[in-house]
Amino acid sequence: MKFLVTGGAGFIGSAVIRHLINDKKYSVFNVDCLTYAGNLASLHSVSKSDLYHFQKLDICNSDGLRVVFDRYQPDVVLHLAAESHVDRSIDAPAVFLQTNIMGTYALLQAALEYWRTAPLDVKQRFRFHHVSTDEVFGDLALGDAPFTEMATFAPSSPYAASKAASDHLVHAWHRTYGLPVVISNCSNNYGPYHFPEKLIPHTILNALSGRELPVYGDGQQIRDWLFVEDHARALCLVAEKGALGETYNLGGGSERRNIDVVKSICAILDDLAPSLRQPQLASYSDLIAFVKDRPGHDRRYAINAYKIRDQLGWSPKETFESGLRKTVAWYLENEGWWRPILNGEYMLQRIGDAR
């Protein structure tokens, strides 16, 4: 199998590529334009493999996409390229509309042209897997049942709205043009190689530096957490065996309040790294500080993942407790990955790597 992965230098994309090459032994062509969150160091373990290929390319570049399709002849497109940080979408929504909507459109068009003219055997096995988020569904009240695949779209942020629009585009290209597609909507991911702006790595690294651990509002926002390596397995399974035209919700079944996530990280750090804690602190949790909530902040997300469990036999291997402990331990052991991000050196390193 030959996979064309967009956004493969990102957090989820790099986990997928490591899984495809190390566990599945599939060939992978990684297309990534290397925005601030793209980091080729996350792919160091597979970068020398004969199964791995990389091209720096913006998915909005239609001509460049056509060249990639013609050159690589993929069996599967796994579309992960996206702007994904909610705070950034509030401050600067235009880039989210451009990448998440127009970029998805350009990729769909390139895939459609390729699929229509592909040899019959390639055409029959071709799949376009669009990776999306549970944020397209909006938020839930405490007593509401978790989102199913039939939930109504009600996005709250510019990011979520742009992803909802891209989901609709993929459905339309399937219904109108017959493009063989599958879609997945995932809950919050966490794990190794997560960019430090997100809640869990931000909390870990701030704690290790003795800085404030900011928690939005009252910290009662609830998210369903999914370990990224479990997500990578699910994405490959959906791409290979999911029913065409169908959507699959991928969740960890691990709802947690934000404040409890932060406190859990502090407790793990108290256990694994007490010697790194500042002497005046009885616990890393002493650094927790509540800050002004962000606009339109959804209160709760929750995923019902029965469909992929019942139809494809997938379930997470990690509990939230085991996955979070692995994540904290990874950041403690891999300062060589995150330190260049914090000081900006990785921006210079990846320029050379991409040449």
Any catalytic annotation for residue 310? Answer: no
Chain segment 125-177, per-residue pLDDT in tens: 999 999 999 999 999 999 999 999 999 999 999 999 999 999 999 999 999 99
Q: What is the pLDDT of residue 355?
A: 39
Compute the average pLDDT of residues 18-33: 98
Is residue 66 included in any domain, yes or no?
Answer: yes
Task: Write down the mean pLDDT value for the chain.
Answer: 95
Any catalytic annotation for residue 193? Answer: no
* CA diameter of the chain: 68
Is residue 215 included in any domain, yes or no?
Answer: no
Q: What is the CATH classification number for the domain harbouring 134? A: 3.40.50.720
**pTM (two decimals):** 0.95
Is residue 41 included in any domain, yes or no?
Answer: yes
Is residue 282 included in any domain, yes or no?
Answer: no
- Looking at 83, 135, 224, 298, which residue is catalytic? 135
DSSP-derived secondary structure for 96-129: HIIIIIIIHHHHHHHHHHHHHHS-HHHHHH-EEE
Q: What is the pLDDT of residue 347?
A: 66
Chain segment 99-133, per-residue pLDDT in tens: 999 999 999 999 999 999 999 999 999 999 999 99
Is residue 281 included in any domain, yes or no?
Answer: no
- Looking at 32, 134, 167, 240, which residue is catalytic? 134
Is residue 292 included in any domain, yes or no?
Answer: no
Whether 301 contacts 189, CB under 8 Å = no
Q: Check residue 344 and give left, alpha or beta (phi > 0: left; psi -120 to 50: alpha).
A: left
Is residue 264 included in any domain, yes or no?
Answer: no
| Beta strand spans in the chain (E) | 2-6, 27-32, 52-56, 76-79, 127-133, 181-186, 188-190, 213-216, 222-227, 247-250, 255-257, 288-291
Is residue 276 included in any domain, yes or no?
Answer: no
| Count of structural domains within the chain | 1
Any catalytic annotation for residue 135? Answer: yes
Compute the average pLDDT of residues 45-52: 98
User: Which of 160-169, 254-263, 338-347 comes out lowest in average pLDDT?
Assistant: 338-347
Q: What is the pLDDT of residue 271?
A: 98
Residue 216 DSSP label: E
pLDDT at 178 over 50: yes
Q: What is the pLDDT of residue 85?
A: 86
pLDDT at 289 over 50: yes
Give the structural domain span for 65.
Answer: 2-191+226-253+298-317+345-353
Q: What is the pLDDT of residue 76?
A: 98
- Looking at 72, 159, 193, 248, which residue is catalytic? 159
Nearest one of 163, 69, 152 to 116, comparing CA atoms: 69
